[in-house]
Every structure is written in structure tokens, then in C-alpha cells.
Amino acid sequence: MKEDGREFKIALLGFGNAGKAFAALLWDKLEEIRKNYRCSVLVTAIATGSRGCLINENGLDLTRALNEIQERGHFAAENPDASTFTSLEIAEKAVYDILIELTPLAIFSGQPAIDHIEAAFHRKKHVITANKGPIAWDFKRLRRLAESQGVKFCYETTVMDGTPVFNLVEDTLKLCRVTAVKGILNSTTNFILEELTKGRTYDEVIAEGKERGFVEADPSLDVEGWDAAAKTAALLNVLMDADITPDLIQRKGIEGITTKQLREADSNGKVIKLLCRGMIQNGAVVGSVGPEEIDKKELFASISGTSSVVTITTDLMGPVSVVEHDPEILQTAYGVLSDLIRVIA
């Protein structure tokens, strides 16, 4: 139902855990959105890498789409909205007002998400992304393109799920200049280090993390610090106007940390955490990722399990810290929803 003629059509690229959770949350909140923002929202396209694609400019049946993925593992061939379009073809040709980019991260290039976003901007469409790749690899150019086209570019979910980090600075720390950032941003390594300290083996810890769903089939990008480097680059690009990429972040992972080191730190009243840092040196923004010992009395030492934290230091407010406690997929879905509200409000 349209309210005052305002209707927003969404193209959803990616329908993995985050995409499905967002679709379910959106369906649940449609009536509240209609009442609070006097507009209607409908999904007109869904693209997946291997499970099919759906397109209907008059709106898809989200319940059917979710059920088909749940029951069959793919969209049904008999679904009247089934399409052979690729994700890029959807970005270039489908009918939508807002592109939501949730495709898997390509950590060494940011593609094809960058191409998806660029295609949307060239069509003067708004973009929301939970994919950190474009923010880590090509943020300045994409932001300039969005500005030149008069459309919105939102990316809150790229670093700490639905926890407000970028929006915190933009909305509530106005006229503050960010001078440094520090964070524990990779839940996999945080969990691994904590469990190894307890005496568990690496294989046991990885197996549990995979079973719980937050450790990837190949955890090397986490363990070697690449995921943290991408998140650090994203933070520095947005908050400190850095124009930096993950390969320029000084990076050291946790693969060299031994149980002996962890236990020695523990006996000395310290813990080892993989820390992300960004600061200004000689007039330039620099970033680093690496394991460091932290006194157990400090805030960062208390960040356990899959929780994360970021401290943003500004010239006017000093350090401001935000903690995300053991997030689930709902927090990621909410982050995307909060960006959607920023576009339609």
C-alpha cells in the first residue's frame, strides 16, 4: 500500500544468512515502516550466486522466497518470478530504488560488489552495503560518485554488524575530528585466543567455532589478520578520510601465538588480543593489525567470545568506546534495516 505516493523498491544482491535474516526482519517491520515513515517498501529482485534469482517489479513474495531456500536450498524453477539474470544484470537493469549489497566478501579486491554499487550509482539509485570490500578498497571514489549522482551511500553493517559506529560519528559527534581508532574487530581470533588460553587445542576451538557458525570453512583470512585489516581500512577511510586499502595496513595475525605465550601473559595479569589501530603519523593516516598484550584491568581485556569493541578518539570528545556483545545474525539484519531507514526517512 502506498502512503502519500511514496514507494521504495529494493533489489537484494545476496541471500545468505544476512540476506535471509534481513528479508525476514523487513517483512516483520513493514507495517511499522508504513505507519512511522508513511511509505511502502517492497523487494523487487533477489540474486544469489548459485541458488537462483527472482525478479518482479511489482514486488516479490518474501515468505515464499524464504521458504523455498529453507526447504529446497534454492528458488523453485516453477516460481513465476524465477529469472536467469546475474547479480550485475540486476544492478544494471532491474527496477529498484535501493540496491542492498550483501554478496560474499572478496577480501583482496572488493569485487564484484564494487561493480554492483557503481552500476547502481550510474542509474542514480541509493546503495546500502554490508560488504566491507568496497569500503576497504574503493570508498573515496564510490562516495564521490554517490554525491555527484545525488544518492545515498550507507554502510553501517560493514564493521560491527548493527552497532552504530559510522552513524555515531556522523549523527552525534558533529564537528569532532577523529584522530585515532582502536578496536577488537575480529570475533574469530578473539574466540580462538580466549579458548587456547584455557588449554584447549587449536583444532578443538576451530571445530566449535564452525559448529556455532562464526568460523569460516577456511579460517585463514581471520587468523592471518586479513579480515581485521579490511575492517581497519574501512574505519579509517570513513572516519579519517584515509584512502587506504587492506594491503597497506601493517598486518600480523595470530598464527604465531603459542599456548605458552598466552599462559605466560595470563600469569602476568594480561591477555593477548588482536588489536586494530589507526592513527596519524607525519600528517598521514596509518593503520595496523597485530596481537598485543593488554592488562586485565583494561576495557579491551574484558571483550570475550564473539564480542567486539571500537574506541574512537576525537579532538573534542576524547575517546568514545562502543561494545557489541556476542552478536547474532539479527544484529547484522538490523544494521541493514537501520540504513534502509536512513534512506527512506
Write out the catalytic residue numbers. 231
271, 310 in Cβ contact below 8 A? no
What the block records as the C-alpha cell of 97 is: 530504488
Return the beta strands (E) in 155-220 as ranges: 178-184
Give every CB contact of residue 170 below 8 A, 6+ residues apart in sequence: none
Distance CA 326, CA 54 (A): 33
Question: What residue has cell string 566449535?
Answer: 208
Distance CA 231, CA 132 (A): 7
Of 186, 185, 189, 187, nearest to 255 (Cα)? 189
The residues that bridge with 285 in the sheet, in sequence order, are 280
The amino acid at 170: E
